[in-house]
Amino acid sequence: MKTKKNTILLIFLLFLNVQLACNISGNAGTPDTAATFNALYTAAAQTQQSFTTPIVLSITPGLPLPTGVVSAATASSTQQPTLAARCDAVGFVEDVSVSDGSVFGRGADFKKIWRLKNIGTCTWTTSYALVFVNGDLMSGATKVALPTALAPGQVIDLAVNFIAPVQDGHYRGYWKLRNSSGGLFGIGTQADTSFWVDINVKGASYELYNFAEKACEADWENNNTSLTCPGNNGASKGFVLSVLNPVLEDGTKEDEKALVISPKQTGNGFISGQFPAIKIKNGDHFKAWIGCQHKAFKCNVLFSLHYRSDGQLKTLGVWHEVYEGQYYVVDVDLSYLAGESVKFVLNADANGEWHDDEALWFAPRITHQGDAPTVVATNTATSTSTLTSTATSTATSTLTSTATPTSTATPTSTATSTVIP
């Protein structure tokens, strides 16, 4: 590039020298000087345009720019693409009522109020509506029309009345807005994310059946034989014990009963206990904490819960536990078995070879939702009076009175007179 520029300059100077020489010598045919320079400039420009390598201007940040030069960074910053404005878009402002995770009793009425902002470019008319999308409806309306029009930038409070479910648990329902054309829109950068109502339902429960207290009502067995209850601690054939004040893996001493069950001391040994039939009600739960017996350091067991109904054994859950200083909560909703009489089966299996495999079912029980029924004590007195009179050569008179308490309050009195000739 530099060589070509020098060549052009050399040609220019050569022509200039020739022209000056001609003028000095006084030749009669003097050419037009301006025309000569124009020709030279034209030739130089044409030569420059024939170069294919572009000229790059290097700009050092922080230094002033030459007049008329525009920084590439400055030019691009004024032309950054912006997100296209959306006709319909929601801005979530706040939960006016019922923040996420609020707790309600079973069947309780509540009202959820969302404060929302129109961050789109179109006005929300009264033909727009708040609509249920998916999740838990909780007896709410599926559509609530907007009570008033809302221009872009304005804020509105939208409310829906709900009824909490009758079962304990966590519930969430998802909602969006719907425009007059039936299109759904919501929050987020793409205006397509739902907002929601999120609650927990809790209420009183009482114990229907305690497996630890009734351990010996079950039929216990290992891989190939029946087991006695209670068993002998450490027995190689496996054992079951009901213990009060058990100590959990983390060293916590509890004040409720637990089942300690240990499988047969062999590879993949197991122990299983089948309890008498229990009639399940809607809202019943099986609850327990599971872990290894305290200081059973090599414990590695599989807990499992089953039930037998109509002669078939079905599994409700399986949990793997090793001794790591923790315990875990088991909570199984049995509502789908409502009305059935089922026999629950509690198992513990050695996960491979037996090593300190003493499984702890702490406070295993069936609970029912609601307040425990009130037991009213009654006293019942039953009085019986018998009079017997015997006429013989010797007159004898006998009087007998008996009082017997029973569980039914029904006082009665009976008099009997018998004459024997």
* 8 Å CB contact between 14 and 36: no
Q: Mean per-residue pLDDT for 163-179?
A: 94
As a whole-number percent, the residues of the chain with pLDDT over 90 amount to 60
Q: In this structure, are strands 328-333 and 285-292 parallel, antiparallel, or unpaired?
A: antiparallel
Q: How far is CA 140 from the centre of its chain?
A: 21
**Would the pLDDT of 406 be above 60?**
no
Residue with tokens 């000056």: 20
Give the tens place of pLDDT for each residue, 53-71: 333 333 333 333 333 333 3
Asked whether the predicted pLDDT for residue 420 surpasses 50, the reply is no
Residue 166: pLDDT band with limits 50, 70, 90: confident
pLDDT tens string 74-107: 333 333 333 458 999 999 999 999 999 999 999 9
Question: Of all residues in the chain, what percent carry a pLDDT higher than 70?
Answer: 69
pLDDT for res 189: 95
pLDDT at 172 over 50: yes
Mean pLDDT of 119-135: 97
pLDDT bracket for residue 250 (50, 70, 90): confident
What pLDDT was estimated at residue 41?
38
Residue 285: C-alpha distances to residues 84, 365, 372 (Å): 53, 8, 15
What is the pLDDT at residue 261? 96
The mean pLDDT of 34-45, rounded to a whole number, is 40
Question: Higher pLDDT residue, 228 or 35?
Answer: 228
**What is the average pLDDT across 149-175?**
95
Nearest Cα to Cα of residue 323 among 298, 302, 303: 298
Quote the pLDDT of residue 55. 32
For the chain, what is the mean pLDDT?
78
* Whole-number pLDDT of residue 80: 37
Q: Is the pLDDT of residue 163 over 70?
A: yes
Q: Is the pLDDT of residue 45 over 60?
A: no
Q: Which two tokens stand for residue 238?
A: 């496996």
Can you tell me the mean pLDDT for 100-117?
96
Q: pLDDT tens-digit profile of 286-312? A: 999 999 999 999 999 999 999 999 889
* Mean per-residue pLDDT, 105-114: 96
Q: Say how far apart CA 293 and CA 241 lie, in whole Å.
A: 12
- Give tens-digit pLDDT for 139-160: 999 999 999 999 999 999 999 9
Which range among 8-12, 200-204, 230-234, 314-318 shows the weakest confidence by mean pLDDT? 8-12
Q: Are strands 359-369 and 205-210 parallel, antiparallel or unpaired?
A: antiparallel
Predicted confidence (pLDDT) at residue 165 exceeds the cutoff of 80? yes
Task: Answer whether residue 418 shows pLDDT above 60.
Answer: no
Identity of the amino acid at 264? K
Between 202 and 84, the higher pLDDT residue:
202
Residue 194's pLDDT band (cuts 50, 70, 90):
very high
